[in-house]
Amino acid sequence: MKRTNVVLDDALLEEAVRVLGVKTYSAAINQALEETIRFHKIRRIPDLIGKIHWDGDLNEMREDRPRPGADANPPA
């Protein structure tokens, strides 16, 4: 953990605590940082289209997954 002093907008901080449903200012700031980073990573996903090569067989991967509605544990 890093301890630092920052100047924050009181109204924004209070609203962040309220909308995020957290109890402390630190929790609000940490969650806001996490969400900001996640948002920026998600925004870069379209830039990766066509740049990642995947050698897999989706049908084969799905074979080990039970079909919807099928009994996952059939009687022996």
pLDDT tens digits, one per residue of 7-47: 999 999 999 999 999 999 999 999 999 999 999 999 999 98
Which pTM does this prediction carry? 0.62
Among 22, 34, 31, 25, smallest CA distance to 6 is for 25
The two most distant CA atoms of the chain are separated, in Å, by 65
Residue 74 has pLDDT above 80, yes or no: no
- Provide the pLDDT for residue 43: 95
Question: Which tokens belong to 51?
Answer: 């740049």
pLDDT band at residue 5, thresholds of 50, 70 and 90? very high
- Provide the pLDDT for residue 70: 67
